[in-house]
């Protein structure tokens, strides 16, 4: 971006800018002690998310009992969650630690691309996982034929490719516009906040792309809801209480994960837009962008006996190996 003298209004403050080669992100606080607290709080959330998702991936890879389509997609979901949080949290954490607000132009492009890439892949995987549960419960006799290894790899590949294309389209559309200001009212580069900085009407193209993307996401949610209506209809017909409980135990974690993603996203984007950032905006963005990747491993592990058994076997195997070494 070319250098220019710009005056940006950010809430009640007027910022004198001498260069727009970097973007300035919103900070949680100007107080140094609170900046350090923010840095360590984000570090805790980040490490918790990474450890939880790495544990899921390790269990699925090492435990043969987890080599099923459901856990194959869960492993992919864990990879996506690690990517989602890694693209926004480390930068915000580092900025707070060194008392900085800047992010380079390329860094901002990377955040937009990778965040949407992982978010779109996440939603695609959740949709596929709903279909997997539908086939397993509503059409169990043909489950192995429909959800074969090759079919699962193809579906997962489609999810990753569609996410890549979605991220690339929006990154290209967003940064094709010219910016009159470089102050982003968010703690990472988020498209709605970037579009407010536009100098031209070209931002309307990206708005149109966002509307189409939102429509596709809404279609995925409708598919998931319709799928679960069919699943619960079949589950309620199971005569055995134990059978109903077993079927629900494989569906409820996925449904909770989808609900968390859907409702946190609605809270952020369904509210009327504001001209300035607020503590509520920042809090809601943290909830929808950071908490789902962090909570997913715990949600899937809480009532899942197969994952709990796999974790126990892994720990028992490690303790046994340590005893042999001693």
CA dihedral 278, 167, 164, 285 (to 10 degrees): 10
Amino acid 85: pLDDT = 94
Instruction: For Cα atoms 66, 239, 128, give the angle at the middle one, nearest 5 degrees.
Output: 35
Both tokens of 95, joined, read 């900025």
Burial class (CB in 10 A: 0-12, 13-18, 19+), 25: buried
Domain presence at residue 8: no
Residue 192 covered by a domain: no
Q: Provide φ and ψ at 299, rounded to 5°.
A: -65, -45
**Residue 153 within a domain:** yes
Are 167 and 114 a contacting pair, CB within 8 Å? yes
207 token code pair: 């708005």
pLDDT at 273: 54
Residue 14 falls inside a structural domain: no
pLDDT at 108 exceeding the cut of 70: yes
Per the model's pLDDT, the better-predicted residue between 244 and 136 turns out to be: 136
Rounded-to-integer distance, Cα 66 and Cα 90, Å:
31
**Average pLDDT of the residues of the chain:** 82
**54 within some domain:** yes
Q: What average pLDDT does this structure show over 308-320?
A: 66
Q: Where are the alpha helices (DSSP H) in the chain?
A: 32-62, 69-86, 89-97, 105-138, 143-146, 149-174, 191-195, 203-235, 241-269, 279-289, 291-302, 305-325
Please give the residue range of the domain that contains residue 100: 32-177+208-325
Q: State CA 127 to chain mean position distance.
A: 14
The structural domain count of the chain equals 1
Is residue 3 in a domain? no
Q: Phi-psi bin for 106: left (phi > 0), alpha (psi -120 to 50), beta?
A: alpha
* pLDDT tens by residue, 185-230: 888 998 888 888 888 776 677 778 778 888 888 889 899 999 999 9
| 14 pLDDT higher than 60 | no
Q: What pLDDT sits at residue 316?
A: 65
> Of all residues in the chain, what percent carry a pLDDT higher than 90?
33
152 domain-assigned? yes
pLDDT in tens, 28-70: 878 888 889 989 999 999 999 999 999 999 988 988 888 899 9
Tokens standing for residue 147: 């959800």
- Residue 190 inside a domain? The answer is no
Note the pLDDT of residue 313: 73
B/e letters for 240-279, b = 16+ CB within 10 Å, e = fewer, are: eeeeeeebbebbebbbbbbebbbebbeebeeeeeeeebee
User: Which region among 45-54, 262-271, 283-292 has the lowest average model confidence (pLDDT)?
Assistant: 262-271
148 pLDDT above the threshold of 50: yes
pLDDT confidence band for 275 (50 / 70 / 90): low
Residues 6+ apart with CB under 8 A from 136: 70, 143, 147, 250
CATH number of the domain at 65, please. Answer: 1.20.1070.10
pLDDT of residue 19 exceeding 60: no
CA–CA distances in Å: residue 30 to residues 117, 179, 193 = 32, 25, 21
Query: Encoding tokens for residue 239?
Result: 């005569």
pLDDT of residue 10: 43
Predicted local distance difference test score (pLDDT) of residue 6: 43
Asked if residues 120 and 321 have their Cβ atoms less than 8 Å apart, the reply is no
Q: How far is CA 20 from CA 58, 91, 109, 164, 170, in A?
A: 43, 19, 14, 28, 21
> Which residues, in sequence order, are CB contacts of 163 under 8 Å at separation 6+?
116, 117, 118, 119, 120, 121, 122, 124
**pLDDT of 302:** 67
Q: What is the pLDDT of residue 4?
A: 39
pLDDT at 2 over 50: no
* Residue 15 scores a pLDDT above 70: no
Predicted TM-score (pTM) of the model is 0.85
Least confident interval from 175-184, 219-228, 295-304: 295-304
């Amino acid at each position: 971006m070319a250098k220019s003298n710009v005056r940006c209004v950010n809430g009640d403050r007027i910022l004198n800018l001498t260069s727009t080669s970097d973007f300035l992100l919103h900070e949680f606080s100007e107080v140094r002690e609170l900046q350090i607290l923010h840095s360590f709080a984000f570090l805790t959330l980040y490490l918790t998310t990474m450890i939880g998702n790495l544990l899921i991936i390790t269990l699925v890879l090492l435990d043969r009992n987890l080599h099923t389509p459901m856990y194959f997609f869960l492993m992919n979901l864990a990879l996506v969650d690690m990517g989602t949080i890694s693209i926004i949290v480390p930068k915000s954490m580092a900025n707070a630690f060194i008392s900085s607000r800047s992010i380079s132009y390329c860094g901002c492009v990377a955040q937009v691309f990778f965040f949407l890439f992982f978010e779109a892949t996440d939603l695609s995987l959740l949709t596929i996982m709903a279909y997997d549960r539908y086939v397993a419960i509503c059409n169990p006799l043909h489950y192995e034929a429909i959800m074969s290894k090759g079919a699962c790899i193809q579906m997962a590949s489609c999810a990753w490719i569609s996410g890549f294309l979605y991220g690339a389209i929006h990154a290209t559309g967003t940064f094709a516009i010219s910016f009159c200001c470089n102050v982003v009212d968010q703690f990472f580069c988020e498209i709605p906040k970037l579009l407010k900085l536009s100098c031209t009407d070209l931002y309307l193209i990206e708005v149109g792309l966002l509307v189409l993307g939102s429509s596709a996401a809404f279609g995925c949610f409708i598919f998931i809801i319709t799928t679960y209506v069919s699943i619960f209809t079949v589950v309620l017909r199971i005569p055995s209480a134990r059978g109903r409980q077993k079927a629900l135990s494989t569906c409820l974690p996925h449904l909770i994960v989808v609900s968390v993603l859907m409702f946190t996203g609605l809270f952020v984007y369904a509210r009327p837009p504001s001209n300035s950032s607020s503590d509520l905006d920042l809090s809601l963005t943290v909830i929808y962008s950071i908490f789902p990747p962090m909570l997913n491993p715990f949600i899937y592990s809480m009532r899942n006996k197969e994952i709990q058994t796999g974790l126990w076997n892994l720990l028992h195997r490690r303790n046994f190996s340590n005893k042999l070494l001693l």
